Amino acid sequence: PAPAPAGARLAGARSAPDLGGVRAALASGALVRSWPLRSTLHLVAAEDLGWLLALSTERQLRGAASRRAGLGIDEALVERARGVVVDALAGGRRLAREEVLALWEEAGVLGDGPDPGTGRGTGRVPQRGYHLLWTLSQTGTTCWGPLLPDRAGAGASDQQAIVLLDEWVPAPRRLEREEALGELARRYLASHGPASLADLVRWSGLTVREARAGLALARPHLEALTCGGTEMLLDPATPERLARCRDDARRTLLLPGFDEMVLGYADRSATVPAEHAAAVVPGGNGVFLGTVVTGGRAVATWRRTGRRTGRRTGPPVVATAFDGGDDGLAPAVAAEVARLGAALPT
C-alpha cells in the first residue's frame, strides 16, 4: 500500500513527542537526517529536505572545494561513488554506513585504486568516505533514513540506514527559491522568536541579502518589537505559548551541547552571560558543552561522568558552575538527572 503523506505521518509523531515517537517517525519516513544547513546534520521533516538542500547546496559545495582537493576527490570520483551507491540501494534497499564504505573500498573509491592482482581496493584515505557520504547527501542522492535492526534482530538499533532520497521521499514538497527563503525565515522566527536578522543569518547560513528577502516574504505573518535598538521579529502566537510554559521553563534544565536555546542565535547573551561564553565553547572551536539553565539563564556546564551498570536510572553527571561555587545547584541537577533518567528506556 502507498504510504501516508509525510505531513500526516509527522503529525502522528508530534502527538507522541518522545523517543518512541521519533523512532516511529524515522521508520515511517516522516523524518530523515541530512546536512541541509551549515554543513551540519539536521533531523528534518522528509518532505522539506529537498527545498532546504536547494537553498544551500551550491554554497556548501563551493566552501568544501579545497577540502575535496585535499582528499583527492574530483567530479569523476564523486560520480563513481554515486554509481556504486545507486546500484546497491536501488529498489528500496538499505545499507549501514560501514557497508557503503566497504563497497567503495572494494571498488577502489576510497584508496588509490584497485590492486592489479586482486582487483580490490588498496585501502582508505582518511575522511574521504565521510566526505563522499556528505557530498551524495548534499546533492540529493542519499539521506539517512530508518533505523537499522540491532544485531540480535530483536528491534531497532540506534544506527540509521543510508537510503536513496528519491525512493525514500517520493513526494517531496517543492518550492521556488524565493518562496523557500520566506518559508525558512517564517519557520525560524516562529520557533526562535523574538530574534533578529543577524540571528537568522547565523542560524541558517544564508547571506544577509537572502535573509532579508526571506524576511520580506515572512513579515506579514510576524510581529515586530525593538530591543536595545534592534528589530526583533516573532510569531504573533509566541507570547501566549511562552505564558503557558513559563513556570516549567524557569526550573533547572540540563540542555545538551548543541541545544537550539544556545546555538540558535548570533547573540546568545540572553541565555549565556557574555562573560561566560568561553566556558560553553572552550577554545572557540565550535564544540558546545551542555549547559545547566535556571530561570532561563545558563549558570553552569555539565558533563557525564560514566554510566551505571544494570538498570539505568539516568547518566550520572557533574556540573561546573560559572562562578566556581555551588549555590545549591547540585540537588537541582540531581533531581533533573533523575527526571530525565526515568523518561529514558531502560
Distance between CA atoms of residues 181 and 179, nearest Å = 5
Final residue belonging to a domain, choices 238, 259, 289:
238
Q: Grid coordinates 546497491 are at which residue?
A: 88
Domain membership of residue 118 (yes or no) is: no
Q: Grid coordinates 532546504 are at which residue?
A: 52
Structure-model confidence comparison of residues 8 and 224, the more confident one: 224
Residue 209 shares a structural domain with residue 82: no
Q: How many distinct structural domains can be found in the chain?
A: 3
Residue 143 shares a structural domain with residue 210: no
Residue 198 shares a structural domain with residue 260: no
- How confident is the model at residue 310, as a pLDDT? 52
Residue 164 shares a structural domain with residue 182: no
Residue 163 shares a structural domain with residue 227: no
Residue 201 shares a structural domain with residue 261: no
Distance between CA atoms of residues 263 and 56, nearest Å = 19
Query: Among residues 155, 102, 190, which one has the least CA distance to residue 200?
Result: 190
Domain membership of residue 15 (yes or no) is: no
Domain membership of residue 156 as a residue range: 20-113+127-168
123 pLDDT above the threshold of 90: no
- How confident is the model at residue 286, as a pLDDT? 83
* CATH code, domain carrying 190: 1.10.10.10
309 pLDDT above the threshold of 60: no
Distance between CA atoms of residues 218 and 190, nearest Å = 10
89 pLDDT above the threshold of 70: yes
Domain membership of residue 2 (yes or no) is: no
Residue 262 shares a structural domain with residue 309: yes
List pLDDT tens digits, range 255-301.
Answer: 999 899 999 999 999 999 999 999 999 988 788 999 999 999 999 99
Residue 258 shares a structural domain with residue 227: no
Q: Which residues pair with 303 in a beta bridge?
A: 318
Residue 189 shares a structural domain with residue 266: no
Domain membership of residue 52 (yes or no) is: yes
For residue 340, give every residue at least 6 positions away whose Cβ sits within 8 Å of its Cβ, in sequence order, or none. 254, 314
Q: Which residues pair with 304 in a beta bridge?
A: 317
Backbone angles phi, psi at 58, to 5 degrees: -60, -45
Domain membership of residue 107 (yes or no) is: yes
Q: Per-residue pLDDT averaged across 43-56, rounded?
A: 96
Domain membership of residue 7 (yes or no) is: no
- How confident is the model at residue 117, as a pLDDT? 67
Distance between CA atoms of residues 80 and 3, nearest Å = 32
Residue 228 shares a structural domain with residue 313: no
Can you give the pTM of this predicted structure? 0.84
Residue 37 shares a structural domain with residue 156: yes
CB 292 within 8 A of CB 319: yes
Looking at every residue in the chain, the average pLDDT score rounds to 88
